[in-house]
Structure 1
């Protein structure tokens, strides 16, 4: 099957059920879609070709069922592709070399398609994933931010804890894979920390400490362009992700000042999509906690999930004119 003028290219893994929600909508609209997991497919049955000459750039993606002209891709949805790890039949240095070449080669090609609309561009995603940059951008855009310290100085950390009127929480700066002594994967959750718990081990790397917001509830704001979808989250846990089966969710309106700041935040990072987390106090103050530029959203109430899916489909269908 040869195509696909104005196709949407979806970069994600085979098990991404969230992507399937949007792909069904695009299929109903008869929008052609090509799905690719470059971290794995390019080691099996897919081929990527790109040529660059003065005044000319061309490219082709071949899969078992499609041949896609990369210069005519209308949109790229960089969802949840597998990491570039190299072919499984290679070992050690050879596999690391192949993985690196794939990341810089295939990754560079797919991030540089002329005329394509990216949701989000992978380089914009990466820039927006740094929590210090998030906090700085949130302040610049007018959002309230809890008092925060990022340091590898144990004394500074202890002093920060001692000066806070409320308790302090620790948050990892990145969701790094972590295994316990038994070899089992563990999740590092947001947790309260006391001054006496801060040891000299803090000097090993930067740690993020933040004044705990005395919240009445949490809110997830899923932003797609200038369309915002709010979900109130009531959970017995400090970190609602820990036991999602116990949380209750319901749609909620986003206050206009917060909405304006969220749209400005997206613009600052050149994002189309963002999943924003807020803590809301009893007197109605919204505190920005973080923004995942590629966060999950299909767990929300059906009405919110459906609206988000259609908003993403709209962006992908419109292409660069979105």
Structure 2
């Protein structure tokens, strides 16, 4: 066992993106324990934390590992399954077990002494709120498209009118949604004033001035290392038909790099996936930052570089 301890990776068993980094850590002989707390704690894994006489210690046992939780050097919060409770329980019993697991196991795993988090789960959650993203982006001096978030239909109509109809709608959260019992995604799309009905009053909606973009850009930030990708797509939302998009590495201008550093610092993030709309004149408009965004879909060169940067963060542990 390495004297600096193990890396704890919190993710689901189907996360092939995590595998890329885990292979690198294995080659470096860094010990790794992989856990999906939302499911593994129902299938043989156990987690204990003890707090006594100004000390805390604990043990994580999985089907293949036993880990002293005071010996965790880093925690990589990737894509763990949600806490949904044991499948053998129904109704309120399952909800009770799920919430106890979230607040119990989730709390333990977010409070390991001396561990380095990439990213800390509570910082991830705080950084996922789009209003917070936009507010932070403004303070960090990004260019931000005019945006309104409202549940007032008249406010929405006025916003669209003031921008001569060049407005898009985007959801505030990627909520699970089904149409005819099939999974359905809500994509970013242009919206017309005539489409605004009283249904807007049901919940807040995000409307944003449409950027006259030449292309999209993704900047993946890992600590102080930035990896830029240019994305060309026939669609307003490049995620809609990813088989039609092309991407290639692109240099990140200093006018964007400096605000990214400030943004990560303010929201206490080590990792962030920033999306921009770039105009023909070279203006980079901030759209959002996913604090736990996917990255292995980019070019092989960029994907490999990001994997090495994440492995470096996990290997070095806290205080370095």
- TM-score bracket for this pair, using the shorter chain length: over 0.9
1:54 is displaced (CA, Å) by 2.7
* Structure 2 match to 1:236: 234
How far apart are the structure 1 equivalents of 2:279 and 2:23?
38
1:183 is displaced (CA, Å) by 1.2
TM-score w.r.t. length of structure 2 = 0.98
* Structure 2 match to 1:48: 47
* Structure 1 match to 2:88: 89
TM alignment of 1:193-232, pairs within 5 A: 193-232=191-230
1:96 is displaced (CA, Å) by 0.4
* Match status 1:261 vs 2:263: no
Count, aligned residues: 320
How far apart are the structure 2 equivalents of 1:263 and 1:5?
28
- Which stretches of structure 1, 4 residues or longer, exceed 6 Å deviation after superposition? none
Structure 1 spans left out of the alignment, 5+ residues: none
* Structure 2 match to 1:274: 272
TM alignment of 1:1-322, pairs within 5 A: 6-165=5-164, 167-180=166-179, 182-322=180-320
Query: Which shifted more, 72-81 or 49-58?
Result: 49-58
How far apart are the structure 2 equivalents of 1:115 and 1:123?
16
Structure 2 spans left out of the alignment, 5+ residues: none
1:166 is displaced (CA, Å) by 5.9
1:13-69 per-residue CA deviation (whole Å, 9 max, x = no partner) reads 000000000000000000000000000000111110100013110010011221101
How far apart are the structure 1 equivalents of 2:83 and 2:200?
31
1:227-268 per-residue CA deviation (whole Å, 9 max, x = no partner) reads 000000000000000000000100000001210100110111
1:112-144 per-residue CA deviation (whole Å, 9 max, x = no partner) reads 000000000000000000000000000100100
How far apart are the structure 2 equivalents of 1:62 and 1:3?
18
How far apart are the structure 1 equivalents of 2:23 and 2:218?
24
Query: Which shifted more, 74-83 or 161-170?
Result: 161-170
